[in-house]
Structure formats: structure tokens, C-alpha cells
Amino acid sequence: MSDLSGAHWRKSTYSTDNGNCVEVASNVPEIIAVRDSKSTVSGALVLPPAEWSAFLGALKNGEMIA
């Protein structure tokens, strides 16, 4: 389990104030943490930076359909 006590969470600049957002912390060594902004105490998905980059690349290339 990763220690996220010092994580600095941020939302995308594309987020609105409707509460349907994710927050990302990238300041924790060797991991990227992602959590639901509506339920910040429910935990976080923790990924290696390479996996996060691959996910973002797939989104940008239209490989992920919501």
C-alpha cells in the first residue's frame, strides 16, 4: 500500500463544479494516484507512471470510448 498522506491532489482544468471528476496526484515517488473527487476517503487507484502515460496516450488517440 502506498503512503498518500503527502499527496497533492489536482483536478483537470477541464473539470466542472458538478462533482463528477477525478483527482490525480503525481508528486508521490514512483507512482501516480487517481481518486474520485466525490469520495476522497474511498481510496485511490495507484499506477506506475508508464501505465498512466499509456492510459493518457490511449485517451488522446481516441482509443478509449466513454
Q: Given pLDDT bands bounded at 50, 70 and 90, which one contains residue 2?
A: confident
Strands 32-36 and 45-47: antiparallel
Dihedral sign from CA coordinates of 35, 38, 40, 43: negative
Note the pLDDT tens digit of each residue in 4-51.
Answer: 988 999 987 777 777 678 899 989 889 999 998 888 888 899 999 999
Q: Map out the domains of the chain as residue ranges.
A: 10-60
